[in-house]
Amino acid sequence: MRHFLEIDQLTETEALALIERAFFFKKTKAYPAYRQSSVANLFYENSTRTRISFELAALQLSIPVVNVDLQHSSEQKGESMADTIRTLSAMGIQMAVIRHKEEYIPHTLAKTCGESMHIINAGDGTHAHPSQALLDMMTIMEKKPALAGLKIAVVGDVRHSRVANSLQCLSALLGIGELVLIAPEPWQPVALSYGRLTSSLQEGLSGADVVMCLRVQRERLLAEEHLDLDDYRKHYALTRKTLSYAKKGAMVMHPGPINRGVEIDSDVADGSQSVILQQVTNGVFMRMAILEAVGLS
Ligand code: CP
Protein backbone atom coordinates (compact mmCIF):
# COMPACT_ATOMS: atom_id res chain seq x y z
CA MET A 1 0.00 0.00 0.00
CA ARG A 2 1.73 3.17 -1.21
CA HIS A 3 -0.21 5.48 1.14
CA PHE A 4 -3.01 4.88 3.67
CA LEU A 5 -5.44 7.72 3.14
CA GLU A 6 -9.01 6.47 3.31
CA ILE A 7 -11.13 3.31 3.41
CA ASP A 8 -12.31 3.79 -0.17
CA GLN A 9 -8.83 2.99 -1.48
CA LEU A 10 -9.08 -0.55 -0.04
CA THR A 11 -10.65 -3.64 -1.53
CA GLU A 12 -12.67 -5.91 0.75
CA THR A 13 -9.78 -8.40 0.66
CA GLU A 14 -7.26 -5.72 1.66
CA ALA A 15 -9.42 -4.45 4.53
CA LEU A 16 -10.00 -7.97 5.87
CA ALA A 17 -6.28 -8.78 5.51
CA LEU A 18 -5.38 -5.75 7.66
CA ILE A 19 -7.90 -6.78 10.31
CA GLU A 20 -6.69 -10.40 10.24
CA ARG A 21 -3.08 -9.24 10.61
CA ALA A 22 -4.07 -7.11 13.62
CA PHE A 23 -5.77 -10.15 15.17
CA PHE A 24 -2.60 -12.17 14.49
CA PHE A 25 -0.45 -9.60 16.31
CA LYS A 26 -2.89 -9.50 19.22
CA LYS A 27 -3.10 -13.27 19.54
CA THR A 28 0.49 -14.33 18.95
CA LYS A 29 2.49 -11.32 20.12
CA ALA A 30 4.85 -12.41 17.33
CA TYR A 31 6.15 -9.13 16.03
CA PRO A 32 8.53 -8.87 13.08
CA ALA A 33 11.31 -6.28 13.30
CA TYR A 34 11.47 -3.56 10.63
CA ARG A 35 14.55 -1.68 11.88
CA GLN A 36 15.36 -0.32 8.43
CA SER A 37 12.04 1.51 8.29
CA SER A 38 11.24 4.77 10.13
CA VAL A 39 8.16 6.80 10.94
CA ALA A 40 7.39 10.38 11.94
CA ASN A 41 4.20 11.40 13.76
CA LEU A 42 2.96 14.86 12.77
CA PHE A 43 -0.14 15.74 14.78
CA TYR A 44 -1.38 19.24 13.95
CA GLU A 45 -4.48 18.53 16.05
CA ASN A 46 -4.62 17.10 19.56
CA SER A 47 -4.71 13.36 20.05
CA THR A 48 -4.09 10.79 22.76
CA ARG A 49 -5.24 7.44 21.38
CA THR A 50 -4.18 7.74 17.74
CA ARG A 51 -0.80 9.37 18.26
CA ILE A 52 0.32 7.14 21.09
CA SER A 53 -0.96 3.96 19.44
CA PHE A 54 0.90 4.76 16.21
CA GLU A 55 4.03 5.36 18.30
CA LEU A 56 3.58 2.11 20.26
CA ALA A 57 2.79 0.23 17.06
CA ALA A 58 6.06 1.44 15.52
CA LEU A 59 8.06 0.56 18.64
CA GLN A 60 6.55 -2.94 18.78
CA LEU A 61 7.65 -3.49 15.18
CA SER A 62 11.13 -2.14 16.03
CA ILE A 63 10.53 0.82 13.69
CA PRO A 64 12.39 3.95 14.81
CA VAL A 65 9.76 6.65 15.47
CA VAL A 66 9.96 10.39 16.00
CA ASN A 67 7.16 12.59 17.30
CA VAL A 68 7.63 15.91 15.56
CA ASP A 69 7.20 18.78 18.02
CA LEU A 70 5.24 21.04 15.69
CA GLN A 71 5.12 23.90 18.19
CA HIS A 72 8.91 24.14 17.91
CA SER A 73 9.43 23.03 14.32
CA SER A 74 10.50 25.29 11.48
CA GLU A 75 6.87 25.48 10.36
CA GLN A 76 6.66 28.17 13.06
CA LYS A 77 9.18 30.08 10.90
CA GLY A 78 7.05 29.71 7.80
CA GLU A 79 8.19 26.39 6.38
CA SER A 80 5.38 24.66 4.51
CA MET A 81 4.01 21.24 5.48
CA ALA A 82 5.16 19.89 2.12
CA ASP A 83 8.72 21.10 2.78
CA THR A 84 8.62 19.59 6.28
CA ILE A 85 7.70 16.21 4.77
CA ARG A 86 10.41 16.50 2.08
CA THR A 87 12.93 17.42 4.79
CA LEU A 88 11.99 14.38 6.88
CA SER A 89 12.24 12.22 3.75
CA ALA A 90 15.73 13.57 3.04
CA MET A 91 16.73 12.39 6.54
CA GLY A 92 15.62 8.89 5.59
CA ILE A 93 12.18 8.81 7.21
CA GLN A 94 9.85 6.63 5.18
CA MET A 95 6.40 7.07 6.72
CA ALA A 96 4.62 10.18 7.97
CA VAL A 97 1.51 9.81 10.10
CA ILE A 98 -0.52 13.01 9.71
CA ARG A 99 -3.45 14.39 11.67
CA HIS A 100 -4.82 17.76 10.63
CA LYS A 101 -7.99 19.75 11.22
CA GLU A 102 -8.34 20.46 7.48
CA GLU A 103 -9.83 17.90 5.14
CA TYR A 104 -7.60 16.20 2.53
CA ILE A 105 -4.25 17.53 3.86
CA PRO A 106 -2.78 13.96 3.89
CA HIS A 107 -4.00 13.47 0.29
CA THR A 108 -2.33 16.71 -0.81
CA LEU A 109 0.91 15.77 0.93
CA ALA A 110 0.81 12.32 -0.68
CA LYS A 111 1.01 14.03 -4.09
CA THR A 112 4.07 16.10 -3.23
CA CYS A 113 6.02 13.95 -0.77
CA GLY A 114 8.24 12.17 -3.30
CA GLU A 115 8.75 8.51 -4.14
CA SER A 116 10.37 7.34 -0.92
CA MET A 117 7.83 8.81 1.54
CA HIS A 118 4.52 7.17 2.49
CA ILE A 119 1.66 9.14 4.04
CA ILE A 120 -0.73 7.70 6.64
CA ASN A 121 -3.93 9.57 7.44
CA ALA A 122 -4.55 9.76 11.19
CA GLY A 123 -7.68 11.89 10.79
CA ASP A 124 -8.31 14.83 8.44
CA GLY A 125 -10.91 17.34 9.57
CA THR A 126 -14.45 16.04 9.20
CA HIS A 127 -13.49 13.82 6.27
CA ALA A 128 -11.88 10.52 7.27
CA HIS A 129 -10.36 8.52 10.10
CA PRO A 130 -9.63 5.22 8.35
CA SER A 131 -7.49 3.57 11.03
CA GLN A 132 -10.29 4.24 13.55
CA ALA A 133 -12.84 2.51 11.29
CA LEU A 134 -10.59 -0.55 10.97
CA LEU A 135 -9.95 -0.82 14.71
CA ASP A 136 -13.67 -0.35 15.38
CA MET A 137 -14.53 -3.14 12.93
CA MET A 138 -11.85 -5.36 14.46
CA THR A 139 -13.46 -4.80 17.88
CA ILE A 140 -16.90 -5.63 16.50
CA MET A 141 -15.64 -8.77 14.69
CA GLU A 142 -13.94 -9.99 17.86
CA LYS A 143 -17.38 -10.44 19.45
CA LYS A 144 -19.72 -10.55 16.46
CA PRO A 145 -17.99 -11.91 13.35
CA ALA A 146 -21.18 -12.48 11.29
CA LEU A 147 -21.23 -9.01 9.74
CA ALA A 148 -24.07 -9.57 7.27
CA GLY A 149 -26.55 -10.10 10.11
CA LEU A 150 -25.46 -7.12 12.20
CA LYS A 151 -27.26 -3.90 12.92
CA ILE A 152 -24.90 -1.06 13.89
CA ALA A 153 -26.35 2.19 15.23
CA VAL A 154 -24.25 5.35 15.38
CA VAL A 155 -25.54 8.29 17.41
CA GLY A 156 -24.32 11.87 17.56
CA ASP A 157 -22.84 14.55 15.36
CA VAL A 158 -22.85 12.47 12.19
CA ARG A 159 -22.48 15.53 9.97
CA HIS A 160 -19.07 16.53 11.33
CA SER A 161 -17.74 13.08 12.18
CA ARG A 162 -14.80 11.60 10.28
CA VAL A 163 -15.35 8.46 12.38
CA ALA A 164 -18.91 8.09 11.04
CA ASN A 165 -17.74 8.77 7.47
CA SER A 166 -15.05 6.11 7.52
CA LEU A 167 -17.35 3.64 9.28
CA GLN A 168 -19.94 4.09 6.52
CA CYS A 169 -17.29 3.30 3.88
CA LEU A 170 -16.05 0.23 5.73
CA SER A 171 -19.58 -0.99 6.48
CA ALA A 172 -20.38 -0.81 2.76
CA LEU A 173 -17.14 -2.60 1.85
CA LEU A 174 -17.64 -5.45 4.33
CA GLY A 175 -21.41 -5.78 3.89
CA ILE A 176 -22.73 -4.81 7.33
CA GLY A 177 -26.38 -5.86 7.40
CA GLU A 178 -27.78 -2.54 8.62
CA LEU A 179 -26.18 0.76 9.52
CA VAL A 180 -28.36 3.45 11.11
CA LEU A 181 -27.08 6.96 11.77
CA ILE A 182 -29.00 8.81 14.48
CA ALA A 183 -28.70 12.58 14.80
CA PRO A 184 -30.73 15.71 15.41
CA GLU A 185 -31.53 17.56 12.20
CA PRO A 186 -28.62 20.09 12.41
CA TRP A 187 -26.16 17.20 12.68
CA GLN A 188 -27.52 15.16 9.80
CA PRO A 189 -25.31 15.12 6.70
CA VAL A 190 -26.70 15.99 3.28
CA ALA A 191 -25.77 12.55 1.96
CA LEU A 192 -24.58 9.21 3.25
CA SER A 193 -22.29 6.76 1.52
CA TYR A 194 -23.99 3.84 3.32
CA GLY A 195 -26.85 3.28 5.74
CA ARG A 196 -29.85 5.39 6.63
CA LEU A 197 -30.55 8.40 8.81
CA THR A 198 -33.07 8.89 11.57
CA SER A 199 -33.65 11.57 14.17
CA SER A 200 -35.32 9.12 16.56
CA LEU A 201 -32.97 7.57 19.09
CA GLN A 202 -35.50 4.92 20.10
CA GLU A 203 -36.26 3.87 16.52
CA GLY A 204 -32.60 3.93 15.50
CA LEU A 205 -31.41 1.87 18.46
CA SER A 206 -34.21 -0.67 18.20
CA GLY A 207 -32.69 -4.12 17.59
CA ALA A 208 -29.11 -2.79 17.33
CA ASP A 209 -26.29 -5.24 18.05
CA VAL A 210 -23.73 -2.45 18.28
CA VAL A 211 -24.22 1.12 19.51
CA MET A 212 -21.50 3.60 18.64
CA CYS A 213 -21.72 6.91 20.47
CA LEU A 214 -19.96 9.88 18.85
CA ARG A 215 -18.24 12.62 20.78
CA VAL A 216 -19.99 15.97 21.10
CA GLN A 217 -17.32 18.27 19.70
CA ARG A 218 -17.75 21.03 22.24
CA GLU A 219 -14.78 23.02 20.94
CA ARG A 220 -16.47 23.25 17.50
CA LEU A 221 -19.97 23.77 18.92
CA LEU A 222 -18.93 26.77 20.97
CA ALA A 223 -17.39 28.38 17.92
CA GLU A 224 -19.92 27.52 15.23
CA GLU A 225 -23.29 26.40 16.56
CA HIS A 226 -25.82 27.24 19.16
CA LEU A 227 -27.01 23.76 19.93
CA ASP A 228 -28.44 23.37 23.41
CA LEU A 229 -26.39 20.65 25.10
CA ASP A 230 -29.09 19.96 27.70
CA ASP A 231 -31.60 19.45 24.90
CA TYR A 232 -29.18 17.20 23.01
CA ARG A 233 -28.61 15.17 26.14
CA LYS A 234 -32.32 14.84 26.81
CA HIS A 235 -32.99 13.35 23.36
CA TYR A 236 -29.75 11.62 22.32
CA ALA A 237 -27.55 10.70 25.31
CA LEU A 238 -26.68 7.05 25.79
CA THR A 239 -27.98 6.23 29.26
CA ARG A 240 -28.98 2.96 30.86
CA LYS A 241 -32.56 3.69 29.81
CA THR A 242 -31.81 4.56 26.18
CA LEU A 243 -29.38 1.64 25.83
CA SER A 244 -32.31 -0.65 26.69
CA TYR A 245 -33.85 0.28 23.29
CA ALA A 246 -31.03 -1.71 21.64
CA LYS A 247 -30.71 -5.51 21.62
CA LYS A 248 -30.03 -7.07 25.04
CA GLY A 249 -26.27 -7.14 25.54
CA ALA A 250 -25.55 -4.77 22.64
CA MET A 251 -21.92 -3.67 22.39
CA VAL A 252 -21.31 -0.08 23.48
CA MET A 253 -18.58 1.72 21.56
CA HIS A 254 -17.12 5.23 21.53
CA PRO A 255 -14.06 6.36 19.56
CA GLY A 256 -13.06 8.69 22.41
CA PRO A 257 -12.37 11.03 23.97
CA ILE A 258 -15.57 10.73 26.02
CA ASN A 259 -17.62 13.58 27.43
CA ARG A 260 -19.03 11.79 30.46
CA GLY A 261 -22.50 12.97 31.32
CA VAL A 262 -22.94 14.61 27.90
CA GLU A 263 -23.24 12.05 25.08
CA ILE A 264 -22.80 9.01 27.35
CA ASP A 265 -23.32 8.27 31.03
CA SER A 266 -20.45 6.89 33.07
CA ASP A 267 -22.35 3.77 34.08
CA VAL A 268 -22.83 2.94 30.38
CA ALA A 269 -19.28 3.87 29.34
CA ASP A 270 -17.85 1.77 32.17
CA GLY A 271 -20.55 -0.90 32.15
CA SER A 272 -20.38 -4.58 31.21
CA GLN A 273 -21.52 -3.93 27.63
CA SER A 274 -18.83 -1.33 26.95
CA VAL A 275 -15.89 -2.23 24.71
CA ILE A 276 -14.47 1.29 24.69
CA LEU A 277 -11.14 0.28 26.19
CA GLN A 278 -10.95 -2.79 23.93
CA GLN A 279 -11.17 -0.33 21.02
CA VAL A 280 -8.13 1.46 22.42
CA THR A 281 -6.24 -1.82 22.92
CA ASN A 282 -7.06 -2.99 19.40
CA GLY A 283 -5.91 0.37 18.02
CA VAL A 284 -2.29 -0.54 18.69
CA PHE A 285 -2.52 -3.87 16.82
CA MET A 286 -4.49 -2.31 13.97
CA ARG A 287 -1.89 0.40 13.54
CA MET A 288 0.88 -2.20 13.58
CA ALA A 289 -0.87 -3.89 10.64
CA ILE A 290 -1.16 -0.55 8.82
CA LEU A 291 2.47 0.45 9.39
CA GLU A 292 3.61 -2.98 8.19
CA ALA A 293 1.46 -2.86 5.04
CA VAL A 294 2.57 0.66 4.14
CA GLY A 295 6.21 0.15 5.15
CA LEU A 296 6.59 -3.01 3.09
CA SER A 297 5.24 -1.43 -0.10
N1 CP B 1 -10.42 8.38 18.54
C2 CP B 1 -9.43 9.28 18.42
O3 CP B 1 -9.04 9.67 17.30
O4 CP B 1 -8.91 9.69 19.60
P5 CP B 1 -7.70 10.72 19.75
O6 CP B 1 -8.18 12.06 19.27
O7 CP B 1 -7.35 10.70 21.21
O8 CP B 1 -6.58 10.23 18.87
d(CA 14, CA 6): 12
What DSSP element (H or E) covers 138? helix 130-143
For ligand 1, say whether the CB of 84 is within 6 Å of any of its atoms: no
What does pTM read for this prediction? 0.97
Put the strands of the sheet holding 118-124 in their side by side order: 65-67, 39-43, 95-100, 118-124
Task: Please state whether the peptide bond connecting residue 32 to the residue before it is cis, i.e. omega within 30 degrees of 0.
Answer: no
- Distance (angstroms) between ligand 1 centre and the Cα of 121 equals 13
Which atom of ligand 1 lies at the shortest distance from residue 53's CA?
Answer: 8
pLDDT in tens, 165-210: 999 999 999 999 999 999 999 899 999 999 999 999 999 999 999 9
Which atom of ligand 1 lies at the shortest distance from residue 52's CA?
Answer: 8
Residue 87: what pLDDT?
Answer: 97
> Closest by alpha carbon to 291, among 40, 58, 89?
58
Instruction: Point out the residues of the chain with pLDDT beneath 70.
Output: 222-224
- Distance (angstroms) between ligand 1 centre and the Cα of 43 equals 11
For ligand 1, say whether the CB of 189 is within 6 Å of any of its atoms: no
Which atom of ligand 1 lies at the shortest distance from residue 122's CA?
Answer: 3
d(CA 73, CA 123): 21
Which atom of ligand 1 lies at the shortest distance from residue 255's CA?
Answer: 1
Q: In sequence order, which residues have a C-beta less than 8 Å from that of residue 18 and are 6 or more positions away?
A: 10, 134, 286, 289, 290, 293
For ligand 1, say whether the CB of 49 is within 6 Å of any of its atoms: yes
